[in-house]
Amino acid sequence: MASSVNPTVRRRRLGQELRRLRELKGMTAEEVAERLLVSQSKISRLENGRRSISQRDVRDLCGVYEVEDNRIVESLMQMAKDSRQQGWWHAFGDIPYSVYIGLETDAASLRVYEPQVVPGLLQTRGYAEALITGALPETSPSDVEKRVSVRVRRQERVNAPEQPLRLWAVIDESALRRVVGGKELMREQLEFLVELSQLPHVTVQVLPFEMGAHPGISGHYAILEFPDATDSSVVYIEGVTSDLYLEKANDVQKYSVMYEHLRAQALNADQTREFISDIAKGYAR
């Protein structure tokens, strides 16, 4: 379940507001950095929400921007304080994609395209364990278990009794054909996938091999949208050593158009369930 205070989202909102105040003042990030005797990269990280913002940072920035309304300053200071709290995922230690988890936890909807494996929010525990073990062969058993536990905890958003995550997943046929953990485990995973696809807020579509080239051929990505209109949508692209977050409206629009093409080319929901069930029966045999 989403926590009442999500530090990742609070940092984003605060960063966006600080950027707005800077632009209203007509200053560049370089000029602000020079005034505060800090690096320009620090100002950029504060504004994009990738770095914790202290109340002192907020106070100093408001001074540079000559914010005279104490109510605005106090509100921003409170957001800075909230942004330094820890989300539920911090209890699991150092998680490499904690920024994404924070965004996903507060998102209203998620559109994901996955070309190689079943999306994380739709995985069984056994599939997740086999997948992480295979993908990260040098990871210790304890770290594998930690990653699996985080993945299972994330799935609470899908099964939440109130305001569940609106999830739309387009999955390439190769994700269903790739045998992760053995055929019996794959059968269980595909049956689980069919079961989840029947939830009213979950839509699963398969993109079969016969469709040939398509807009998702370059790889996995996800589009997150939020309930608060002030929170801009985010495109998330997972990397091996670092992840990419795109928030510019033009970038989000391009990926959204690509996703619409993927949905149009994929099998519809009923066809998808039948398609997945047939493959699951093959694993059973």
Q: Tens digits of per-residue pLDDT, 124-145?
A: 999 999 999 999 999 999 999 9
Crossing angle, helix 7-25 and helix 98-106, to 10 degrees? 90
The pLDDT, as a whole number, for residue 10 is 73
Average pLDDT (208-233) is 88
pLDDT tens digits, one per residue of 91-111: 777 777 777 888 898 899 999
Q: How far is it, in rounded angstroms, from Cα 206 to Cα 118?
A: 11
Query: Class assignment of domain 7-85?
Result: mainly alpha
Q: What is the model's pTM? A: 0.78
Enumerate the domain spans of the chain: 7-85, 89-284
Crossing angle, helix 7-25 and helix 40-48, to 10 degrees? 120
Confidence of residue 6 (pLDDT cuts 50, 70, 90): low
The one-letter amino acid code at 101 reads I
Confidence of residue 3 (pLDDT cuts 50, 70, 90): very low
The pLDDT, as a whole number, for residue 210 is 94
The pLDDT, as a whole number, for residue 177 is 97
Q: Does domain 89-284 have CATH number 3.30.870?
A: yes
Confidence of residue 256 (pLDDT cuts 50, 70, 90): very high
The pLDDT, as a whole number, for residue 7 is 62
The pLDDT, as a whole number, for residue 2 is 39
How would you classify the pairing of strands 221-225 and 166-172? unpaired
The one-letter amino acid code at 80 reads A
The pLDDT, as a whole number, for residue 240 is 74
Average pLDDT, the chain: 89
The pLDDT, as a whole number, for residue 8 is 72
